[in-house]
Amino acid sequence: MKYLINFIEAKNVTKAKIFPHLKCNRQEAKILQYICRRFVKGIEETAVLDILQDNFEYEGYDYLNHLSIIKKLMDMGWIVQISFGQIKVQEVSKLEILNTSVAPTMSLIRLLEEGSLEISLPDIKPYTDHLEYLQDQFDVIDLLFQMSNSKQGFLETSLSVGRLKSKLALLTQRIVERLKITDEPIVVEEFFKEKEFDEREKKIFLALLKEEYAGGEGQLRDMNVLIELISVDEYDKIRNRALLEDGSRLINDKIIDYEEILNMFGGISRSFYLQEEILQKIIHPNKKKKVTKLKLDKLVEEQELFEYLTPTTDLSDVVLHPKTREVLNTLIKQVDKDVFAKLKAWGIKDKRKGIDARIIFYGHPGTGKTMTAVSLAKTLKRPILSFDCSKILSMYVGESEKNVRKIFDDFKSLSKKAKVDPILLLNEADQFLSSRSQGTGSSADKMHNQMQNIFLEQIEKFEGILIATTNLLDNIDKAFSRRFNYKIEFKKPGKKQRKRLWHFMLPEKADYEEGFEVEELARHELTGGQIDLIVRNTAYKVAVREESVFSMKDFLEEIEKELGASFEGSKSMGFKV
């Protein structure tokens, strides 16, 4: 503490050992001396008005003329205005400073403690292992993070940025020099050479690796923070976004992946992480056995109970009723950290951070229930396992109690082995959910009631997302209805939606007769599934012709066939865009 004591005791502040590092004049240094004297006496914050009135002679309001000194010290990064928190220093006017308090910044405190802000690096020696190398690289990431905050003008200034740049240059050069004299290969450097990463990709990788070693969910996972970390200016930020978007090398080569989270304000943010296989390769470079995670799709192939569904659409691709979309968005918001914190504080959720939801999708066959479930899985970046409930009786006659439990036990087992949290989709769950038989009834009725009781028990204690699809809601047992916190109806599309569906489903590269109008096709009360079927059937018919041109007549013939063959007239089907 010799530099601190020397500074606060100096009668001539310009003779203090740290004065040359302050880069300010005598009057400004005396103000800093006054603030530091109060700071060591336990007064963390000093009122600006006290500083002016205690350090300058004045008549009336003359002390206001010295506000520029306080502002300059703030701009230099030696003191910080407490009351304004994260407001940019440049945006604070001199008069706004008057009735607030200031305190020494971390830069000033460090200068007083160490006597210099110049980086002090040990002698250059070879790296003994990859951890020493990573420590240096993580220090680089810390400096870049500080610089990104400084560039935004929060608390620090251009003087601080200059110091950080100097440190960064020295540390970067030190890493280069140490690598030159290191004989043993460094696994991360070898990986960079193998993948031919540029400097921006290296920094993104190291930032995410730093988060993994820290074991937290820090800011360095956020897309905007990562972009800020590797960008010099606004143009650079726009250009660098491509490094973290779908189709980039880092994502395509399965080096990094991300989770999309709908925040409480309706926006979507991306949180990035290193793929498990890559992470293990870096963290445990000397392990002979390759550490891999059992893939859920491969595990599902070895059993007969569940089907692994591969999503091709997300919720943005699905035409949904506004109320339905609102309900699903509310569901998705459970993963927002602020929403989770509130629910936990209120005692609604425990320490489990994932979404907990039991959902019924109801509507006539083919109304898009399954497609929406699968699209929800893609939006949440979750796998989805489907079980066809219509097969339960034929598969498990006589062992209903045992085998209903097996559905849920096997689902948990697969999830645990793959270390993932999939969505469970119970397709065509009518017989599970229908009203239970009253009285004694037949042995079949007893078995059915017993099966439903076990199913009810399993639903009650299920953790995660469970979606049951059913054709009719009216016949659902009230005991089951109470267990589902979301009930979503799927209806037929209106004319406007049908027009969008036709535009989406008609082949783009096909030839159409002159005067072909989608408006005419949209007039017919068809559903998405029917439109899809009609387009396919028409395409088969047109493709075999020598002159393959789609005509309105072709489609109208198929529409007539579809509506004529329907047992329910215009059936309600699923649809997407």
The CATH number covering residue 500 comes to: 1.10.8.60
- pLDDT tens-digit series, residues 88-103: 444 567 788 888 899 9
Same domain, 92 and 27: yes
Looking at the structure of the chain, the number of domains it has is 4
What type of residue is 19?
A: F
pLDDT of residue 262: 59
pLDDT of residue 378: 87
Contact, 427 vs 305, CB < 8 A?
Answer: no
Same domain, 483 and 514: no
Q: With a cut of 50, which residues of the chain have pLDDT below it?
A: 84-90, 153-156, 289-292, 567-577
At residue 426's C-alpha, the angle toward residues 424 and 429, to 5°, is 160
User: Kind and range of the H or E element at 522?
Assistant: helix 518-522
Q: Which residues contact 137 (CB under 8 A, 6 or more apart)?
A: 175, 188, 206, 210
Residue with tokens 């005991």: 479
Same domain, 482 and 361: yes
What type of residue is 253?
A: D
**Neighbour-count burial for 375-397, b at 16+ CB within 10 Å, e otherwise:** bbbbbbebbbbbbebeebeeebe
Contact, 99 vs 48, CB < 8 A?
Answer: yes
**Neighbour-count burial for 344-356, b at 16+ CB within 10 Å, e otherwise:** eeeeebeeeeebb
**For residue 483, is it left (φ>0), alpha (ψ between -120 and 50) or beta?**
alpha
Residue with tokens 């296989």: 277
* Residue 572 included in any domain: no
Same domain, 166 and 75: no
pLDDT of residue 576: 45
Boundary residue ending a domain (473, 489, 505): 489
pLDDT of residue 133: 92
Same domain, 515 and 402: no
- Cα distance between residue 210 and residue 214, in whole Å: 6
- pLDDT tens-digit series, residues 215-237: 766 678 888 899 999 998 888 89
pLDDT of residue 88: 46
Q: How far is CA 235 from CA 31, 212, 241, 382, in A?
A: 40, 30, 10, 34
pLDDT of residue 268: 66
Helix axes 495-505, 528-543, angle to 10 degrees: 40
Same domain, 189 and 267: yes
pLDDT of residue 292: 46
Same domain, 402 and 548: no
Contact, 73 vs 28, CB < 8 A?
Answer: yes
Query: Which CATH number do you get for residue 324?
Result: 3.40.50.300
Q: How far is CA 363 from CA 179, 335, 368, 536, in A?
A: 65, 28, 9, 24
- Cα distance between residue 227 and residue 273, in whole Å: 14
**For residue 467, is it left (φ>0), alpha (ψ between -120 and 50) or beta?**
beta
- Cα distance between residue 391 and residue 558, in whole Å: 32
* Residue 96 included in any domain: yes
* Residue 170 included in any domain: yes
Same domain, 31 and 54: yes
Same domain, 270 and 313: no
pLDDT of residue 337: 65
Boundary residue ending a domain (259, 283, 307): 283
Same domain, 346 and 470: yes
What type of residue is 68?
A: S
First to last CA, the chain: 68
pLDDT of residue 300: 87
Domain containing residue 557: 495-565
**pTM of this prediction?**
0.51
Same domain, 59 and 143: no
Cα atoms found within 13 Å of the Cα of residue 440, Cβ hemisphere only: 0
